[in-house]
């Protein structure tokens, strides 16, 4: 049974649940970095000095309501993070986090049921979009060694240590790409197997195990670079087959299913790269189309590729990219006619910065991925066949070479996986 008593909703259990008009506003302003919220309360949240992580009740009934108000309009500087504490939030489970980062915002949430969980009455599509937890590990896979394709992989732990070779599964190939998908998994796709272009894909579990080939979808090609976008989704875009370059893209669902081609946007090119940035966004940059390029193309939260943006930094190809710092990206290394080791940082609004002087061995046809939650790693590549790696800290600083582990090779791909350190 349900009904109203004055300004309150009567729960099915017979207990009265407070609604907005009947909220108990807590008079003490919250300034701490954590808050354990209670149903029926309203809270003034002051994030002047720090972000605030709010833990919701571990159990709730229909009609439970909580309100959070930006006390001094500082959420745009220091956001609030909502931990749904085992319950769903807007239909997403508790492996996702929810962030609000708009100054002056008020968040008014009501519990519906086990399926949808907590639902905001005032919903901002961007600022309260569920955010997948950061991946902690990475893997590098496939590539070519002295003209011989390989399918070996190398796992990277949450400290950035590269492991020895794991025997390959799936079609040995090079110039493929990889991206994370779901909460904690990855996918390799496309490439060249030594005799033909291919569009096969291989899913990677959250323990780093590569599955056998999945029949291909989309135009067969190499250099269809990949990145995460949205919530648990991925995109592969651009690439080439023979002398034909493409600007098509293929979206990947949160269960690793690759979709058919989407008509292209931006300059068709090869040997670009891509990374995630911001909240659920991605960026493609650089590449080759009759000459080296420095343009970029942003990818929206829904996987729509935007038109070319005039490039910043040295035009080049065969570089790599990765997310770092939680919401930023870095493009590094590459080929301008000779191998280079420079890097370009990307802000959390997708703005590419000017060149940073290179660190580590100049090379191309390497790969990069996020690890450790907010750091990145670049490894392998071509100068000769190389196996060294370079770690990137959460400020985007590239470290010196680390002696290589695993088979030296180039044309390799990499992605982050696993939310467990």
Lowest mean pLDDT among 5-19, 55-69, 386-400: 5-19
H-helix or E-strand spanning residue 392: strand 385-392
Kindly tell me if the per-residue pLDDT of 357 is higher than 50: yes
**According to the model, what pLDDT value does residue 383 have?**
85
pLDDT-wise least confident of 124-133, 245-254, 392-401: 124-133
Residue of higher predicted confidence among 106 and 250? 250
Percent of the chain with pLDDT over 70: 92
The architecture that CATH gives domain 137-417 is 6 Propeller (2.120)
pLDDT in tens, 269-326: 999 999 999 988 999 999 999 999 999 999 999 999 999 999 889 999 999 999 999 9
DSSP 298-333: EE-TT-PBPPPB---S--BBS-EEEEETTTEEEEEE
Residue with tokens 């989309």: 218
Q: What is the DSSP letter of 352?
A: B
Is residue 6 predicted with pLDDT exceeding 50? no
Query: How does pLDDT run across 399-414, given as a tens digit for each residue?
Result: 999 998 899 999 999 9
Cα separation, 249 vs 233, whole angstroms:
13
Return the DSSP state at 128.
Answer: T
What pLDDT shows up at residue 23? 85
Per residue in 56-111, pLDDT tens?
999 999 999 999 999 999 998 999 999 999 999 988 888 887 999 888 889 999 99
pLDDT band at 8 (very low <50, low <70, confident <90, very high): very low
User: pLDDT band at residue 20, thresholds of 50, 70 and 90?
Assistant: very low
CB-based contacts of 54-60 (< 8 A; 24+ apart in sequence): 54/80, 54/81, 54/82, 54/83, 55/83, 55/85, 56/82, 56/83, 56/84, 56/85, 56/87, 56/89, 56/118, 57/85, 57/87, 58/85, 58/86, 58/87, 59/87, 60/87, 60/111, 60/117, 60/118
Q: 3-131 with 137-417: one CATH topology? A: no
What is the 3-state composition of the chain as percent helix, strand, coil, each rounded to the nearest 5?
A: 0, 50, 50
Q: Is 316 in contact with 334 (CB distance < 8 Å)?
A: yes
Residue 305's DSSP bridge partners are 299
CATH for 3-131 is 2.60.120.640
Q: What distance in Å separates the CA atoms of residue 271 and residue 322, rounded to the nearest whole number?
A: 15
Question: DSSP string covering 202-253, please?
Answer: EEE-TT-PBPPPB---S---B--EEEEETTTEEEEEEEEETTEEEEEEEEE-
Confidence bin at 131 (pLDDT 50/70/90): low
Q: Which long-range contacts link 167-170 to residues 24+ away (Cβ below 8 Å)? A: 168/141, 168/142, 168/210, 169/202, 169/210, 169/211, 169/212, 170/142, 170/200, 170/202, 170/210, 170/211, 170/212, 170/213
**pLDDT given at position 22:** 65
**Is the CA virtual torsion 120, 124, 127, 130 positive or negative?**
positive
pLDDT(9) > 50:
no
The residue extents of the domains of the chain are 3-131, 137-417
User: Looking at residue 157, what DSSP letter applies?
Assistant: -
**Is the confidence at residue 190, as pLDDT, over 70?**
yes
Choose the weakest-confidence range: 22-26, 109-113, 160-164, 398-402.
Answer: 22-26
């Amino acid at each position: 049974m349900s009904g109203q008593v004055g300004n309150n909703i009567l729960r099915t259990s017979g207990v009265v649940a407070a609604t907005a008009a009947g909220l108990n506003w807590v008079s003490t302003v919250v300034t701490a970095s954590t808050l354990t919220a209670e149903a029926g309360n309203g809270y003034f949240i002051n994030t002047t000095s720090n972000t605030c992580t709010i833990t919701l009740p571990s159990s709730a009934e229909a009609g439970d309501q909580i309100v959070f108000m930006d006390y001094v309009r500082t959420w745009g500087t220091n956001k609030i993070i909502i931990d749904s504490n085992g319950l769903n939030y807007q239909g997403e489970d508790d492996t996702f986090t929810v962030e609000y980062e708009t100054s002056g915002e008020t968040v008014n949430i009501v519990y519906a049921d086990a399926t949808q969980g907590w639902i905001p009455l005032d919903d901002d599509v961007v600022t309260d979009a569920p955010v997948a937890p950061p991946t902690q590990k990475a893997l590098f896979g496939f590539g070519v060694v002295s003209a011989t394709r390989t399918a070996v992989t190398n796992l990277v732990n949450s400290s950035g240590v590269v492991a020895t070779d794991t025997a390959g599964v799936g079609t040995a190939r090079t110039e493929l790409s990889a991206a994370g998908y779901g909460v904690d998994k990855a996918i390799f796709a496309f490439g060249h197997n030594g005799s033909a272009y291919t569009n096969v894909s291989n899913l990677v579990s959250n323990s780093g195990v590569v599955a056998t080939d999945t029949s291909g979808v989309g135009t067969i090609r190499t250099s269809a670079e990949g990145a995460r976008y949205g919530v648990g989704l991925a995109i592969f875009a651009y690439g080439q087959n023979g002398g034909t370059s493409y600007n098509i893209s293929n979206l990947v669902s949160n269960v690793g299913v690759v979709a058919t081609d989407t008509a292209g946007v931006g300059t068709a090119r090869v040997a670009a790269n891509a990374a995630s940035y911001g909240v659920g966004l991605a960026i493609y940059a650089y590449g080759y189309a009759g000459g080296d390029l420095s343009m970029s193309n942003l990818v929206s939260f829904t996987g729509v590729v935007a038109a070319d943006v005039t490039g910043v930094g040295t035009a080049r190809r065969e570089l790599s990219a990765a997310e770092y710092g939680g919401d930023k990206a870095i493009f590094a290394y590459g080929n301008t006619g000779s191998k280079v080791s420079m890097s370009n940082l990307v802000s959390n609004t997708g703005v590419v910065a000017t060149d940073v002087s290179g660190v580590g061995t100049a090379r191309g046809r390497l790969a990069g991925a996020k690890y450790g939650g907010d750091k990145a790693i670049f490894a392998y590549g071509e100068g000769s066949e190389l196996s060294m790696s370079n770690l990137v800290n959460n400020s985007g600083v590239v470290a010196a070479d680390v002696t290589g582990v695993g088979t030296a090779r180039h044309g390799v791909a990499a992605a982050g996986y696993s939310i467990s350190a």
